[in-house]
Structure 1
Amino acid sequence: MLKVDNLSVYYGGIHALKGVSIAVEEGQIVSIIGSNGAGKSTLLNTISGMVKRKGGSILYKGKEIPKLPYHIVKIGICQVPEGRLIFANLTVKENLMMGAYLRRDKEQIAKDLEKVYELFPRLLERLTQMAGTLSGGEEQMLAMGRGLMSNPDLILLDEPSLGLAPLLVKTIFEIIEDIKKLNKTILLVEQNAYKALSVADFGYVLEQGKVTKAGNAKELIQDKSILEAYLGKKEIQINL
């Protein structure tokens, strides 16, 4: 579904992505793990058209993606950004409808709203509430629901567990697996290496702008170098 080949991105004089190549098969969850500053969010922002690339290609369903972000949304790619970036001064429902801004299929929009309510029943309870008054976990649910309202085939999910309590992190990752069951493909960027790989089909390790490892997620999760780099012993014992 998605093929990124030899992608190069600069921020001023900083070479943020150095020949990055990844592939995402339809129906998969593909996770990208790495430390802060590795280039994970830059990769997603480049795919979604928010950051310009210096070189390389990005193919979606065999065709080069458009340059403008709203055209990228139109072809079936949406990004759920790091930090949620909800519209605090709009209600929960108004935020969800912003996700469908480019759509004109009113009947399907209504059906998709119902699906979002099924995935996130807490949002249904808070439809008329101002989004700025939600908890961090509820904001993340709203950001994911808003993304789904664009009716994407491919979802770019950036740090969904950031700043959330462990119990909410568990809930969010269960919902990610439920979203996959809706025939969605997910490219997930996440600092929680164990959680990211435990839900994924395939994984990549990004270090200093380069892909240093790639493989089946269940195999990567047993890789000693990955465990040592991204998981402390205490966390390994808790999760395994």
Structure 2
Amino acid sequence: MLNVKNVNVYYGGIHALKGVDIVVNKGEIVSIIGSNGAGKSTLLNTISGIIKPKEGEITYKDEKLNLSPHKIVAKGICQVPEGRLVFANLTVKDNLLLGAYLRKDKKEIEEDLQKVFDIFPRLLEREKQFAGTLSGGEQQMLAIGRALMGRPEIVLLDEPSLGLAPLLVDTIFNIILDLKRMGNTILLVEQNAFKALQISDRAYVLEQGKITLEGDAKEIASNPKVQEAYLGKKIS
């Protein structure tokens, strides 16, 4: 579905992404793991159209994705940003409805709103609360729900477990698996490499702007260098 080919991104004189190639197939969970500053969020922002690459191309269903961000959303790619970025002064329901801002199908929007509440019953309980009053875990659920209101085919998840308590981390990763079962394709950027590799089909390791390793998630997880660098295991 998604093909990133030889993408190079610069921030001024900093070469942030260096000839990055990744492929995401329909129905997969694909993880990008790497340390802080490796370029993971830059990659998602480039796919979303927020950042324009200096070189390379991104194609979605064999169509070049050289579009503005809102047109990329309309094509079926929605991003859940790092830090959630919910609209704190709007209610939970209004935040969700903003996720459907490009859609005109009012009946289907209402149906999708109910589906989001089915996935996240906590959001239904807090539907009239201001988003800024929610806990971190609830805001993450809201950010995911808001993306789902755009009816995406690919969901880009940027650090969904960041800052969450361990129990909530498990909840979020179970939700990601549920999204896959519902037919969504997921590109996941996550510092919790252990959890990410557990639920992923395939994975890429991004280091200093370059893809240094790719393959089946289980193979990546068993790689000694990955274990030592990202999984907290000391290899003798």
Do the aligned partners of 2:58 and 2:66 also contact (CA within 8 Å) in 1? no
Structure 2 match to 1:177: 177
1:25-50 CA-partner distances (Å, limit 9, x unpaired): 00000000000000000000000001
How much has 1:233 moved relative to structure 2? 3.6
CA distance in 1, matches of 2:159, 2:222: 22
1:156-214 CA-partner distances (Å, limit 9, x unpaired): 10000000010000000000000111111000000000111111000000000000000
Matches within 5 A, 1:90-109: 90-109=90-109
1:98-135 CA-partner distances (Å, limit 9, x unpaired): 00000011121111111111111100100000000000
CA distance in 1, matches of 2:228, 2:120: 35
| 2:187 counterpart SS class | strand
Tell me which amino acid in the other structure corresponds to 2:61: K
Structure 2 match to 1:151: 151
CA distance in 2, matches of 1:37, 1:228: 18
CA distance in 2, matches of 1:23, 1:233: 28
Structure 2 match to 1:238: none
CA distance in 2, matches of 1:13, 1:229: 28
CA distance in 2, matches of 1:66, 1:112: 28
Residues 133-142 or 101-110, more deviating = 101-110
CA distance in 2, matches of 1:178, 1:105: 25
CA distance in 1, matches of 2:188, 2:222: 19
Structure 1 match to 2:2: 2
| 2:164 counterpart SS class | coil
Counting aligned pairs with the same residue, the percent is 68
Do the aligned partners of 2:89 and 2:130 also contact (CA within 8 Å) in 1? yes
CA distance in 1, matches of 2:188, 2:225: 21
| 1:204 counterpart SS class | strand
Matches within 5 A, 1:135-150: 135-150=135-150
Tell me which amino acid in the other structure corresponds to 2:143: A
Gaps of 5+ in 1: 235-240
Residues 224-233 or 21-30, more deviating = 224-233
CA distance in 2, matches of 1:184, 1:222: 27
1:195 pairs with 2:195: yes
Matches within 5 A, 1:1-240: 1-233=1-233
Tell me which amino acid in the other structure corresponds to 2:11: Y
CA distance in 1, matches of 2:182, 2:111: 13
Tell me which amino acid in the other structure corresponds to 1:144: I
Q: TM-score with structure 1 length normalisation?
A: 0.96
Tell me which amino acid in the other structure corresponds to 1:121: P
Q: TM-score with structure 2 length normalisation?
A: 0.98
CA distance in 2, matches of 1:204, 1:37: 15
